[in-house]
Amino acid sequence: MRGIKRFIPIIPLIFFAFFGCGKNPTSSGLEDLWPRSQVEPLENEMFGLINSARADEGLSALTHDSELRIVAYEHSEDMYLRDTLTHYGENGETVVDRCDEADIDYNTLGENLAKNSGFQDPVARAHDDLMNSPVHRDNILFDEFNAVGVGIATDGEVYYFTQVFANLASPTRYFVTFEIPAPKLVENPWSSGFETFEKAWQKCAENR
């Protein structure tokens, strides 16, 4: 069930981003993209840089929300395939539309985008560029956000970055297990169908 406040434009969506030097994708096919298993370490690296920047300002750490990560990655993938950097999807969808489609329960949203190529550490370069832009920095350091999803699409040459920030009703995605002691097993007291209830009850008491 979504909260009363669907979207609060405290932090405006960012409609410009940074371009590093380099060439555009030579193919628009999915086959050129690195698999998710290969880009997830890069996404985690950027997530760590975001929380380090927040820690430097005395802000609480964000949760790397699994649902926001999917929204962010799919937008980065879409930008790569269309060879464009934009906050809009192919049919004009915004980050609000994408999060609504994913049925994410948010109060506030923000989005940062970046694209670069030709750098030894593209993740660190994108983070530095975003932090050097006041509007992007405001998203990263907004104290009311409690979650972020980082999505990176790359073919190893050009990198598309999407950061989706949110104030979520339930930002954590942890599974908690509880160890329950096994019940004590005792021998069936009803050894005979003709045994009286009184004798069976006595056996139960003795086995406790």
Helix (H) or strand (E) segment spanning residue 203: helix 197-206
pLDDT given for residue 170 in this prediction:
75
pLDDT given for residue 194 in this prediction:
42
Encoded tokens for 89: 């999807």
Which candidate, 57, 193, 205, places its Cα nearest to that of 138?
57
Return d(Cα 171, Cα 137) in angstroms, integer: 21
Residue 202: count of CB within 10 angstroms of its CB: 12
| Tally of helices (H runs) and strands (E runs) in the chain | 6, 5
Assign domain 36-168 to its CATH superfamily: CAP (3.40.33.10)
Local confidence pLDDT in tens for the 208 residues of the chain: 344 334 433 344 433 444 444 445 444 577 889 999 999 999 999 999 999 999 999 999 999 999 999 999 999 999 999 999 999 999 999 999 999 999 999 999 999 999 999 999 999 999 999 999 999 999 999 999 999 999 999 999 999 999 999 999 876 543 333 333 444 434 444 444 444 445 544 554 555 5
| Ordered DSSP codes for 23-45 | PPPS---GGGSPPHHHHHHHHHH
Helix (H) or strand (E) segment spanning residue 19: strand 18-19
127, burial (CB in 10 Å: exposed 0-12, middle 13-18, buried 19+): buried
User: Any bridge partners for residue 158, and if so which?
Assistant: 117
What is the pTM for the complete model shown? 0.72
Domain ranges of the chain: 36-168
pLDDT given for residue 122 in this prediction:
98
pLDDT given for residue 115 in this prediction:
96
Instruction: Read off the DSSP letter of residue 97.
Output: H
